[in-house]
Amino acid sequence: MAVAPTPIADPRAVSDSERAALLEQVAATNFALYQWRAAPPDDDALDEWLLTFTGNFGLRAREDHRSANGNGVVRIQVAHDGGRVGYIPYTTLRIAWHTDGYYNYHGPDNCVRGMILHCAAAASEGGENRLLDHELAYLRLRDADEAALRLLMHPQAMTIPEATDDSGRFRAANAGPVFFLDDAGALVMRYTARKRNVVWRDAETRAAAEKLLALIEAEPLARRLTLAPGQGLLCNNVLHDRSAFEDHGDSRRSLCRIRFNNRINSN
Ligand SMILES: [Fe+2]
């Protein structure tokens, strides 16, 4: 049975036992689920609480994301105007399996390795996430087809073509491996299951990626949940997706995300 999110009495002052409970989950699956018992009074306070909370886990190297506010916090909500209109995360559409920042890889120690996804407001319907430890995906592929795994570890395995981002900025093509080790020897994954705007190194690598996706889709240990307000995911950039959702009446799904260049409790 799935473990319930760990209650956190005050996210600004995480207790030793609360921290230990979350770190135990991270050690087992590279992610932890929590439930804040206290609620911040407003959006600005929420940003502060998220930064203090993640600081308790050594997550301090924030990525400069184009959609982030000055605090490095991105609000994932449906955009009706502005530069984000039409970009999948800011619609009600499903998001395919991915790890965060797969288009922003600049070497094993300069990429997204940590992330928090915190629910401020849930959708009326849908908006479910599936979560999967990327180390487990690696092991499944190694067991099924070691040659396919080697192809996905090639330094040029997956290229995201150049594009214009959601603030109108040009982004150069981004090439790199799917699986790699950082300088501390931790396994990191850079991946998207989307079919468009992804170039695989060759036909064999594309076939390897299809094999990987089939294993991910069939994985019985993938966690499935719909985050409720105050709940969130603290992780070493594990695989995740999102189902489509609907907002009715005044409801407006709102998730906050911060990406980090380091892992939980690492440098
Ligand atoms: Fe994501």
Q: What is the pLDDT of residues 179-194, one digit of tens each?
A: 999 999 999 999 999 9
pLDDT at 1 > cutoff 70: no
8 A C-beta contact, residue 210 and residue 166: no
From 66-70, 89-93, 263-267, the region with the lowest mean pLDDT: 66-70
Q: What is the 3-state secondary structure (H, E, C) of the chain?
A: CCCCCEEECCCCCCCHHHHHHHHHHHHHHCEEEEEECCCCCCHHHHHHHHHHHHHCCCCCCECCCCCCCCCCCEEECCCCCCCCCCCHHHCCCCEEEECCCCCCCCCCCCCCCEEEEEEEECCCEECCEEEECHHHHHHHHHHHCHHHHHHHCCCCCEEECCEECCCCCEECCEEECCEEECCCCCEEECCECCCCCCEECCHHHHHHHHHHHHHHHHCCCCEEECCCCCEEEEECCCEEEECCEECCCCCCCEEEEEEECCCCCCC
Distance 190 CA to ligand 1 centre (A): 11
Least confident residue range of 17-31, 53-67, 87-101: 53-67
pLDDT over 70 at 153, yes or no = yes
pTM, two decimal places:
0.95
Instruction: Give the Å distance between the CA of 100 and the centre of ligand 1.
Output: 5
User: In whole angstroms, what is the distance from residue 120 CA to residue 181 CA?
Assistant: 33
Q: In 3D, which of 142, 41, 106, 127 has the Cα closest to residue 261?
A: 106
Please say if the pLDDT value at position 267 is more than 90.
no
**Distance from the alpha carbon of residue 97 to the mean position of ligand 1, in angstroms:** 8
- Which residues are found with C-beta within 5 Å of the ion, ligand 1? 100
CA of 249 to the centre of ligand 1 (A): 26
Dist. CA 240 → ligand 1 center (Å): 6
Average pLDDT, the chain: 94
pLDDT of residue 75: 94
Ligand 1 centroid, distance to 202 Cα (angstroms): 26
CATH code of the domain occupying 32-260 = 3.60.130.10
**What was the pLDDT predicted at 199?**
98
What tens digit of pLDDT does each residue of 31-42 get? Answer: 999 999 999 999
Question: 169 pLDDT band (50/70/90 cuts)?
Answer: confident
Distance 89 CA to ligand 1 centre (A): 8
Q: What percent of the chain has pLDDT over 90?
A: 87
Instruction: Choose among 47, 42, 43: nearest CA to 11.
Output: 47
CA dist., res. 4 & res. 18, Å (int):
14
How many Å lie between the centroid of ligand 1 and the Cα of residue 7? Answer: 23
Which tens digit of pLDDT belongs to each residue from 224-248?
999 999 999 999 999 999 999 999 9
Contact 163, 120 (CB under 8 A): no
Q: Is 212 exposed, middle or buried (0-12, 13-18, 19+ CB in 10 A)?
A: buried
Query: Residue 167: its pLDDT value, please?
Result: 72
Give the start-to-end residue ranges of the domains of the chain: 32-260
